[in-house]
Chains A and B, each alone.
Chain A
Amino acid sequence: MAAAGGARGRTSFQRRAGTGARPAALPGTRPALRHGQLLLSSGLPSLDCVLGGGIAVGTLLLIEEDKYGLYSNLLFKYFLAEGIVCGHDLFVASAKEHPDNILKELPAPLLDDTCGKELGDEAATVKSEDFQDSMKIAWRYQNLPKMEASPTPYTKFGHYYDISKKMSPELIQSIKWHSFYLHEEPSSLPKMKTCNMNGAYVRLLQSLQRIISQGGFDGSDPQKKQKNVLRIGIQGLGSPLWGDDICCSDTPEDVHSLTKFLYVLRGLLRKSLSACIITVPAHLIQFAIEKTKTYPMNINYLFHHIGCVFCFRVLQNKAIMERVTNLSDMVVGLESFIGSERETNPLYKDYHGLVHVHQIPRLNSLICDVSDTKDLAFRLKRKLFTIERLHLPPDLSDTVSRASKQDLAGSAKLLSSGCGAMAIGKKHLDF
């Protein structure tokens, strides 16, 4: 036996290096339950729940910015901060702020020991609910799944951040990051075919492709033992700062630049170990057609006399968001209450805005893990940003409240005038 083993050079007792060894797990990732795809955390555990566990490696998360970009900026920062804490590489692209400044403003992570101290009372109330065996009054709601809103101390996947504190510069320097600030990039001739795309997008794609191939994220460098994930963040894509005029005119110069960019980006993401977050000012893109709605008569006249070519151009911009949605994997829209009548509406007093999940992908499977709650809202507490199920408070007033009080008073007026002799007042019943 030994001789037979010796002829091969090694016996079966010896462990062959490499074949039995499991591949080293990538830091900060976990496999999805359903299709075994690697998932990354978005930096916000409640958003991970909404997206079905996390962001899959190789996919694109598109955030439709809220009106002033405040909350989408927060989500962007959470994504980058999570990358730093997990040790991933970062690529930050922006035309508005310099990436160095973006990285200085990242929230500090809440570590396990400080977690209990900072949010001790909240954690205590959560624990007391867990000990409750059965609900006595609302027993129908016993089996509803609870959305994780407060931090539990032992999560390895997904971390919590404190917005009131900044991330320490040592932590930021511990990872490798690349930046793309549009106004500082040299406008040299690109080595790739432009395909009639906007120049800024072409340069961004070229820079990305260079980083991906040099960093070995697409597996092109077999020497590299330790694989890592690249997190890409692109801020404000489609805004006029990138040289794209789909936000400003109804007849933009090149309608297809953004969609072509997204398609090539999708190709780059699918073949590499990376995930991308993009914030798009969707409200600006769709606003460009609002002007035409005030002149419906003119449009119909022109339609009949000139033909439908005019209509194509005028309504092009809303079509762009539909095509952008089709080309992205996950699309989440944020609608903040700032400046709208909902800000002062007592129904929404606990929340700062709504979350609309427009699309979740079905990757490597016929179905996807999507949460059942479709009515989601977000709120920004002093230190924490969470996405929760929207709960409307119970209506405890005697009469029907909200906007119908004025209607009732109006109809009471009509009634009393019919009767003639009654005093006309604002009360419902007046004897």
Chain B
Amino acid sequence: MFAELNELLGASPQRPEPGEFTLLRDSRTDGSFLVHHFLSFYLRAGCKVCFVALLQSFSHYSIVAQKLGVNLTAAKERGQLVFLEGLKSCLDLVFGEEEEQPGQPSPLLFLSESPSDLRALFDFVRVSLSAPGSEAWAGPVLLLDDLSVLLGLGATPVALLDFIHYCRALVCCQLKGNVVVLVHSSEESEDEENELVVNSLCHHSDLILWAEGLATGFCKDVHGQMKIIRRVSLQQAGEQDLVQIYQYKIQDRNVTFFARGLSAAVL
């Protein structure tokens, strides 16, 4: 977890805010550093984390988490982390034999069955977060790396929004936990389905972290701009959302945030 981002968000691992839906959004750049931040943040906070990692393998997250001071293998062994490796379970589904147990269908069943039914994935989330030993941990957290991949795999946007709605109802409202989701988007994107999903999610989230590439192009010292949008208008009608804009630079083990135009290279 990045200490500067914690300060900006006003969050601390000792007391994570319950019941929050956080949307991570990136345009013209790679926002996966935010996923690594939240993964290590919630593991340090002692929450039970269900991580649906659709894009990269377990070893990738494990190596980065080690740099941030968290051991994913140990967390998996003590039951704190439930890791769904999308690539591996897709291979098991596609190339696997028919002898899978009838009570445990593959979470990515929508690939081979109907594309408008993400129920198997939701059941996986529900079972892992409300399993018998979960009360020992601080609060359940669902982390989804890359919702836009599901659209590419054939899920319809409506099915995807239904799935997120069910997850939110279960995790945020019923179990008083948190949900963090990463999506890709872009202003000049031609992907209408993706924009529909992203706009809808923006309306329903409590906190939006939007990482954008600089409009002026590539820069060695400033890797992008981060907008932190707190949806105060959801809680109190008539209030404006709080928007803060910072620029950031990603280093090997840390990400530094600074006000716009005040990067260390300029000062």
Q: Which residues of A contact B (CB under 8 A)?
A: 34-35, 192-196, 205, 209, 256, 259-260, 263-264, 266-268, 270-271, 289, 308, 311-312, 315, 318-319, 322-323, 326-327, 362-367, 372, 374
B115 smallest CB distance to A (angstroms): 8
The 7 closest A-B pairs by CB, nearest first: A319-B191, A318-B190, A267-B87, A259-B152, A323-B152, A256-B154, A364-B63
What's the minimum C-beta distance from A369 to chain B, rounded to whole angstroms? 11
Residues of B within 8 Å of A, CB-based: how many? 44
Q: A267-B90, A362-B32, A374-B218 are in contact. Are A192 and B64 (CB under 8 A)?
A: no
- Do A271 and B88 contact each other (CB < 8 Å), given the known contacts A323-B191, A366-B64? yes
* CA–CA, A270 and B60, complex, Å: 10
Q: Kindly report which residue of chain A lies nearest to residue B60, judged by CB atoms.
A: A364
Q: Report if B253 contacts A (CB, 8 A).
A: yes
Q: Which residues in B have their C-beta under 8 angstroms from that of A271?
A: 57, 87-88, 91
Q: How far is the CA of A364 from the CA of B184 in the complex (A)?
A: 20
User: Nearest chain A CB to B44's CB is how many angstroms away?
Assistant: 17
The answer to the question of B229 belonging to the interface, with a C-beta cut-off of 8 Å to chain A, is no
Contact of A266 among B87, B146, B148 (CB under 8 A): B87
B192 near A312: Cβ-Cβ < 8 Å: yes
Shortest CB distance B36–A (Å): 7
A65 CB to nearest chain B CB (Å) = 20
Residues of B within 8 A of A372 (CB): 218, 220
Q: Is the CB of A365 within 8 A of B190?
A: no
Q: How far is the CB of A10 from chain B (nearest CB, A)?
A: 33
Q: A312-B193, A326-B184 are in contact. Are A366 and B250 (CB under 8 A)?
A: yes
Of the A-B pairs whose beta carbons lie under 8 Å apart in the complex, a sample of 28, sorted by A's number, is A192-B94, A192-B95, A193-B94, A194-B112, A195-B94, A195-B154, A209-B95, A263-B153, A270-B87, A271-B57, A271-B87, A308-B192, A311-B192, A312-B193, A318-B191, A322-B186, A322-B191, A322-B194, A323-B148, A323-B152, A326-B146, A326-B152, A362-B32, A363-B56, A364-B60, A365-B252, A366-B36, A374-B217
Partner of B255, one of A264, A326, A362, A366: A366
Chain A residues, Cβ within 8 Å of B56 = 270, 363
In the assembled complex, the CB of A304 is this many whole angstroms from the nearest CB of chain B, namely 16
Is the pair A319, B91 in contact by a Cβ cutoff of 8 Å? no
Q: How far is the CA of A196 from the CA of B113 in the complex (A)?
A: 9
**Which residues of the partner chain A approach B59 to less than 8 Å between Cβ atoms?**
364
**Chain B residues near A270 (CB, 8 Å)?**
56-57, 87
Contact B190 A319, beta carbon cutoff 8 Å: yes
- Interchain nearest-CB distance for B5 vs A (Å): 13
Select the residue from A196, A260, A263 with max chain B CB neighbours within 10 A. A263
Contact of B216 with A by CB under 8 A: no
Residues of B contacting A263 in the complex (Cβ-Cβ under 8 angstroms): 87, 90, 149, 152-153
B92 to A, closest residue via Cβ: A267
A416 CB to closest chain B CB (Å) equals: 42
A residues in contact with B184, CB < 8 Å: 326
A289 — which chain B residues lie within 8 A by C-beta?
190
- Apart from A319-B189, A366-B36: 19 A-B pairs, beta carbons within 8 A: A34-B252, A35-B63, A194-B112, A195-B112, A259-B153, A260-B153, A263-B90, A263-B152, A266-B87, A267-B87, A267-B88, A270-B87, A319-B192, A363-B56, A363-B60, A364-B63, A365-B252, A366-B252, A372-B220
Instruction: For the complex, give the distance between the alpha carbons of A308 and B193 in Å.
Output: 10
Contacts of B70 in A (CB 8 A): none
Q: Does A327 lie within 8 Å of B253, measured CB to CB?
A: no
Q: Which residues of B contact A311 (CB under 8 A)?
A: 192
Which residues of the partner chain B approach A194 to less than 8 Å between Cβ atoms?
112
Contact residues in A for B241 (Cβ distance below 8 Å): none
Residues of A within 8 A of B148 (CB): 323, 326
- A315–B190 Cα distance when bound, in Å, is 7
User: Once bound together, how far apart are the Cα atoms of A45 and B154, in whole Å?
Assistant: 38
- Known contacts A192-B95, A195-B111, A196-B154; A327 and B149 CB within 8 A of each other: yes
What chain B residues lie within 8 Å of A266 (beta carbons)? 87
* B190 → A minimal CB distance (Å): 4
In chain B between 230 and 259, which residues have their CB closer than 8 angstroms to a CB of chain A? 250-253, 255
**B83 CB-CB contact with A under 8 Å:** no
| B67 proximity list for chain A (CB < 8 A) | 365-366
Q: How far is the CA of A257 from the CA of B16 in the complex (A)?
A: 41
Min C-beta distance of A348 to chain B, whole Å? 21
Question: Are A366 and B91 in contact, CB atoms less than 8 angstroms apart?
Answer: no
* Interface check B135, CB cutoff 8 A: no
Which residue, of B152, B154, B218, has the highest number of chain A Cβ atoms within 10 A? B152
Indicate if B93 sits at the interface (CB-CB under 8 A).
yes
Q: Is B30 an interface residue (CB 8 A)?
A: yes
**C-alpha spacing A94/B184, complex, angstroms:** 32
Separation of A363 and B191 alpha carbons in the complex (Å): 26
> How far is A140 from B68 in the complex, measured between Cα atoms in Å?
39
**Smallest CB gap from A267: residue in B:** B87
Residues on A with beta carbons closer than 8 Å to the beta carbon of B111: 193, 195, 260
B175 touches A (CB below 8 Å) = no
Tell me which residues across on chain A come within 8 A of B202, comparing CB atoms.
Answer: none
